[in-house]
Structure 1
Amino acid sequence: MNDWPTGRMESVDPLVRRLLAPNPSPFTFTGTQTYIVGHGEIAVIDPGPDDDAHLSVLLGALKGERVVAILCTHTHRDHSPAARALKAATGAPIIGCAALAIDDRGPRADAAFDFDYAPDQVLADGETVAGEGWTLEAVATPGHTSNHLCFALRENGALFTGDHVMGWSTTVVAPPDGNMTAYMDSLDKLRLREDRIYYPAHGPAVEKHQQLIRGMMGHRKQRERQILRHLERGEGEIETMVGQMYKGLDPRLHVAAGRSVLAHLLDLEGRGMVARDGDTWRLAA
């Protein structure tokens, strides 16, 4: 039995439905999950990639209902491009994260940015959008990207976590826009909230989210300690660290691992713990 079917709307909560886009990959797991909030008058969260089949299924499933808001957690190409076609088909405004298009000339560690994303309204932390029977509050969670938002559904305690907290893996934090310091602060922000359940863009719903967040923060601290041990031994090149720290990792994910190590090093540099000489890192004097 396929627990992750594409092309079929599924109810996951009395107020929430989801539709899985057909874009599985090492970075998207089974694909990007589009969420529909409400009934009759609805919001669509993360409409997904530029994929005609996904959009066709979404529009067909929502026939007879009125889309009043299209919300994007961030602007990677597996999340926001379908917003434009959905707006054209429904007339609904694109609301949520700010536009962001980073010209990242390094090798990509995850999806590229959606350069054509143009929101009609940007939500700041704590601002809301509402419809019949539902209210969604923006929760600013920079780190994966600087413009990342989660959305809290006030009526039932659900939090749509985008890529900030996923149900299958830790998120990619890839400089120059991904920022480990901001990511850890955002995790701590969610840790202090009292949400009931998380609905991530990739992977299953998360009910024991406090436990997951503590584990994610602990995992990052462990990586930090590994990096510091490498520097103590004079092993200051990222490629060397990745080879030792990520043994057995799918080779397709090595670039992502290298970007993650770089994000940790930049965080440590900002805290005055490490320094660099060109591409070689060392403990700060």
Structure 2
Amino acid sequence: MAMPPKPWPTGLCEELEPMVRRVLAPNGSPYTYTGTQSYLIGTQEALTVLDPGPNDAEHLAALTAAIGAAKVVAITCTHTHRDHSPAAAPLSRMTGAPIIGCGAVMLQSDEPRADAPFDLEYRPDQVLEDGDSLSGPGWTLKAVATPGHTSNHLCFALEESGALFTGDHVMAWSTSVVAPPDGDMADYLASLDKLYQRDDRIYYPAHGPAITKTRQLVRGMIGHRRQRERQILRLLEQQPHMLSDMVPLMYKGLSERLLPAAAQSVKAHLLDLERRSCVVRSGDLWTIN
């Protein structure tokens, strides 16, 4: 999906539906689209800030203005890449609200994204597991464990409205990067299937537009990953390849700055195929089994 023309609504508080508002952070990039979207969910009596985003003074000021006099009862994160969770700690100090959501991942990721290595300062007050929930007057936000993009990734279902906040797991503008060692392709595909079995009315991702054809998009994403897997197997049936040779063959025309991220997803596919005994490797060389 092409980037929309500027100006983007950075810093503006936009109402999406009753009890759901959105504030866009000023961290747009080829990996974050127009930026991280922080969601304010709930009412004046009890509000949750979901994915508070980067620790950026401008964004924190916009969140504070959007919160106004509302009582923040929780600051919630889908996962702990640096474009999602660093604002949780300062916002917690400002509002007195606990950080409740995904667990911490203490891993220095080798993912080649300036905005995405893990937030090693993230310290949740409470970790939510699959099916755990937060609630306030008229709303219930239930955690849906969706590992794959990261091992700690959660989506959140607003049960009263049928909305699902999908973080980086499902987005309309791009597929999610799955970067080992923490990202896992088998987990990612299982999590996609988990969402396909649901009947959510609308997805609100952390980056990019809302998604109304939810199951159709997920079905397409599963098909896309299976197509990439078949592409890898066809290449290796022809001859053994190194990862660095496979990526430009698989992603013809992709911008050079995005090729390292694509390589991470190919690596995740190879590791999954290796576990399933479909491929083997010798040093840096991969071959069909």
Output the TM-score relative to the length of structure 2: 0.96
Q: How does 1:42-57 map to 2 (within 5 A)?
A: 42-57=47-62
Secondary structure of 1:129's match?
strand
1:207 paired with 2:207, answer: no
Work out whether residues 109 and 259 of structure 1, in 8 Å CA contact, stay in contact via their aligned partners in 2. Answer: no
Q: Which moved more, 1:215-224 or 1:231-240?
A: 231-240
1:9 paired with 2:44, answer: no
Work out whether residues 235 and 241 of structure 1, in 8 Å CA contact, stay in contact via their aligned partners in 2. Answer: no
Q: Could you say which residue in structure 1 is the equivalent of 2:137?
A: 132
Q: Could you say which residue in structure 2 is the equivalent of 1:145?
A: 150
Q: Could you say which residue in structure 2 is the equivalent of 1:232?
A: 237
Distance in 2 separating the partners of 1:136 and 1:44: 11
Return the match for 1:66 from 60, 65, 71: 71
- Structure 1 position 239, deviation (Å): 1.4
Q: Percent identity?
A: 63
Matched to 1:20, the amino acid is L
Work out whether residues 109 and 172 of structure 1, in 8 Å CA contact, stay in contact via their aligned partners in 2. Answer: no
Kindly provide the CA deviation profile for residues 96-124 of structure 1, in whole angstroms up to 9, marking residues without a partner as x.
10011212356448611000000000001
Q: Could you say which residue in structure 2 is the equivalent of 1:221?
A: 226
Matched to 2:238, the amino acid is R
Structure 2 vs 1, CA of residues 202 and 108 (structure 1 numbering), >3 Å: closer, same or farther?
Answer: closer
1:25 paired with 2:25, answer: no
Structure 2 vs 1, CA of residues 106 and 60 (structure 1 numbering), >3 Å: closer, same or farther?
Answer: closer
Runs of 4+ in 1 over 6 A off after TM superposition: none
Work out whether residues 110 and 172 of structure 1, in 8 Å CA contact, stay in contact via their aligned partners in 2. Answer: no
Q: How does 1:118-129 map to 2 (within 5 A)?
A: 118-129=123-134
Work out whether residues 158 and 164 of structure 2, in 8 Å CA contact, stay in contact via their aligned partners in 1. Answer: yes
Work out whether residues 111 and 264 of structure 2, in 8 Å CA contact, stay in contact via their aligned partners in 1. Answer: no
Distance in 2 separating the partners of 1:237 and 1:109: 25
List gaps (5 residues or longer) in structure 1: none
Q: Could you say which residue in structure 2 is the equivalent of 1:269?
A: 274
Output the TM-score relative to the length of structure 1: 0.97
Q: How does 1:156-167 map to 2 (within 5 A)?
A: 156-167=161-172
Q: Could you say which residue in structure 2 is the equivalent of 1:84?
A: 89
Distance in 2 separating the partners of 1:238 and 1:165: 25
1:183 paired with 2:188, answer: yes
Matched to 1:152, the amino acid is A
Secondary structure of 1:275's match?
strand
Kindly provide the CA deviation profile for residues 201-244 of structure 1, in whole angstroms up to 9, marking residues without a partner as x.
00000000111011001001110111001101114111111111
Secondary structure of 1:139's match?
strand
**Aligned residues, how many?**
284
Secondary structure of 1:36's match?
strand
Distance in 1 separating the partners of 2:111 and 2:227: 26
